[in-house]
Amino acid sequence: MNRFISTARQRLPGLVITLMLGILASALAACAHAPSENYKLPHADVPETAAPEGRYVQIHGTRIHYVEQGKGDPILFIHGNPTSSYLWRNIMPTVSGQGRAIAIDLAGMGRSGKSNTGYRYKDHYKYLEGFIEELKLTNITFVVHDWGAALGFDYASRHPERVKRLAFMEGVLPPIFPQPSFEAMGPEMGGMFRAFKDPVQGRRMVIVNHMFVEQILPNFVNRPLGSVAMAEYRRPYVDSADREPLLAWPREVPIAGEPGDVVERMNAIRQFMVSTNKPVLLLYAEPGVLVPPAVVSWYRQNIPRIETAFVGQGLHFIQEDNPRAIGLAISDWMRRN
C-alpha cells in the first residue's frame, strides 16, 4: 500500500492534491453556515419533474429498484452518496439512443429496499454484481459517479469480459484515494473525516442533522436545487432510521490504511486503470471537487485509451448543472467507440 501511495503522489504533485482538498474543504465549510445563493449561477434549464417508479428485481433478499429506457447493449448508470437514479434523469434520454440505458438505485437508497447485510462498500458491490447477473447484462457501458465510479471500475477489473467501455465523473477513485493519513488531508478535511468516522459525531452529523442531503448535496451543485429535486432526494430518508447508508459511505473512505479491504480494492482499480485497453471517458467540470481540471492530467497520462470532455461549470453533482452537455459527450463518445 505504501508503494502505491508513494507512486500516486509522485505522479500527482502535492500542489494538485492540496488544490483538490482545498476546493472540497471550502465547499464543506460552507455547509456549516446558513445557505447563501449569492455564489450560484443563474437558474439553468434543468428539468426537475418527479421521478416515475421503475422496475424491481430481487437481489440477495433485497428489492432493488431501477429505471430503464432504450434498446440494445446495456448502458449502466451508477450513482453515489447521497443520490439515486434520479440524478441521471436528464442524461439518460440523450444517451438511450445508443443502447438500453439502465439506472440502478443502490441498496437502501432511492426506491430500493434495505440491505439485509449492511451498507459497506463490499455489500454494495455484492448487490451490483448480483443485479448485473440477474439482468444478464453483457457488453456493458458504465456511466458512473462518486462511489458509483469505484463500483463500476471495480466490477470492470473483476469481470473485464462483460464490460465494453467506462465513462466516469467526480469519482471516489485513485489517485486521490486512498489517503495516507488524516493529517495529509489538512486540518479541515482530516478533521471532517475523523468526525464522520467517530461513532458519536458521525451519527449526529449524518443521521440527526441529515448533513449529506440537506447541506452537502445543495452546496455541491452550482445552481439552486428546486423543491421538486430536493423532495426526490429527501424522500428515501424522511425517517432518521433510513439514513444508515448515508453514514456508511464516508466511513468507507480509505484513510491511513483503513478500511483495509477498500484500500485493497482501490489498489486493484488503479492497476486496472493504468493497464486496461477499454475506451474510457472522463467528464469534468470547473472547478470540480474530486476531479478539478488539474487532476485531469493524471488520468490523461495514466489511462491508455482515455478521452476527456469538459462539460462546463460545476462542483461535485455536475449532472444537476450540465446534463445536456454530459449526455451529448457520452453519446458522441459511444458512437465513435
Return the CATH number at 298: 3.40.50.1820
Q: Catalytic one among 170, 232, 252, 320? A: 170
Tens-place pLDDT, residues 304-320:
999 999 999 999 999 99
Q: Which pLDDT band, with edges at 50, 70 and 90, does 155 fall under?
A: very high
Q: Name the active-site residue from 146, 154, 232, 320.
A: 146
Query: Each residue of 67-82: pLDDT tens digit?
Result: 999 999 999 999 999 9
User: What is the per-residue pLDDT across 211-258, written as a single tens digit (0 to 9) for each?
Assistant: 999 999 999 999 999 999 999 999 999 999 999 999 999 999 999 999
Domain count, the chain: 1
Single out the catalytic residue among 79, 124, 210, 316: 316
42-56, 82-96, 227-241, 294-308: the lowest-pLDDT one = 42-56
Average pLDDT over residues 267-277: 98
Residues with Cβ within 8 Å of 221's Cβ and at least 6 positions away in sequence, in order, are 314, 315, 316, 317, 320, 321
For residue 197, give its domain range: 2-336
Q: What's the pLDDT score for residue 253?
A: 98
* Per-residue pLDDT, 27: 52
Asked whether residue 84 carries a pLDDT value surpassing 90, the answer given is yes
Instruction: Report pLDDT for 321.
Output: 95
C-alpha dihedral sign at 208, 209, 214, 217:
negative
Specify whether 264 is catalytic. Answer: no
Instruction: Give the pLDDT score at 44.
Output: 62
**Per-residue confidence (pLDDT) for residue 4, from 0 to 100:** 29
Strand ordering across the sheet containing 74-78: 55-59, 62-69, 100-104, 74-78, 140-146, 163-171, 280-287, 306-314
Is residue 170 part of the annotated active site? The answer reads yes
pLDDT, position 167: 99
The helix (run of H) or strand (run of E) holding residue 143 is: strand 140-146
Q: What is the mean pLDDT of residues 136-141?
A: 98
Question: 18 versus 176: which is more confidently predicted?
Answer: 176
Strand-pair partners of 287: 314
What is the rounded average pLDDT for all residues in the chain?
90
State the pLDDT confidence band at 294, using cuts at 50, 70 and 90. Answer: confident
Query: 38 falls in which pLDDT band (50, 70, 90)?
Result: low
Whether 316 is a known active-site residue: answer yes
Distance CA 49, CA 228 (A): 7
Give the residue-averaged pLDDT of 122-138: 98
